[in-house]
Amino acid sequence: MPISTQEQAERYARDLFQRSLALKARMLEGAYMAQLASMGQVIANALAAGNKLLLCGNGGSAADAQHLAAELLVRLRSHINRPGLPAMSLAMDASAMTACGNDYSYAAYYGRMVQALGVAGDVLLGITTSGRSPNVLHALEQGRKQGLITMGLLGGDGGPALALCDHALVVPDKETGRVQEMHITAGHVLMELTEEFLLTQGYIEAEG
């Protein structure tokens, strides 16, 4: 849709907000909240057992992976200080990523990171709006092979990623941006649930 006036731009912006809101409202129905609750408990249990959370994705989802890892590593809610929790985005090492892209393939990178860094009982969270990004699929496959708990924040019909996930939230929309907007909300919910479970169950203590 061409935009040549302030009014048209405002309508465009309003329409995007409305679509985002409608999708969020839709996700309050059905099993979505139950899925998030279970996923939060699974991550908390893994961390309580001494395991870690690995996250990966492409583009905006790579940024989400880093963002969510930082929530656990550092601080999520400004009034709750507690020890850092082990979470790691696999999307952050330019040297390893370019070496793998150059020597093997870009698609192989996350799988290789999981092979090198993942241990049984860790949780691997793959974030992909299409459920079809080959590097995330390889990571989930490798995670399965090594006994990691595989999780997905997906979109559309879940794509081939869905069958590789022990737990998944599939946002019922195909538009990448809208799905990402649900993913980051869901990601915040997951990190906050994880923190709450760990505090409530006494695995970590809030510091003064």
Ligand X SMILES: O=C(CO)[C@@H](O)[C@H](O)[C@H](O)[C@H](O)COP(=O)(O)O
**Residue ranges in contact with Zn ion by CB under 5 A:** 60, 180
Piece of the chain touching ligand X by CB under 6 A; list 11-19, 27-35, 70-78, 130-138: 130-138
The verdict on whether residue 102 carries a ligand-binding annotation is yes
The verdict on whether residue 45 carries a ligand-binding annotation is no
Query: Which whole-number Å values give the CA distances from 104 to 98, 118, 144, in the listed order?
Result: 10, 20, 21
Query: Considering only residues 174-193, where is the footprint of ligand X by CB under 6 A?
Result: 176-177, 180
194 binds ligand X (CB under 6 A): no
The verdict on whether residue 67 carries a ligand-binding annotation is yes
For Zn ion, the closer of residues 61 and 194 by Cβ is 61
Inter-residue contact 95 to 113 (CB < 8 Å)? no
C-alpha–C-alpha distance, residues 65 and 56, integer Å: 6
Residue among 172, 201, 199 nearest 83 (CA): 199
Inter-residue contact 64 to 183 (CB < 8 Å)? yes
Query: Considering only residues 11-70, where is the footprint of ligand X by CB under 6 A?
Result: 58-61
For ligand X, the closer of residues 44 and 159 by Cβ is 159
Residue 148 DSSP one-character state: P
Kindly state the smallest distance separating residue 23's Cβ from Zn ion, in Å.
15
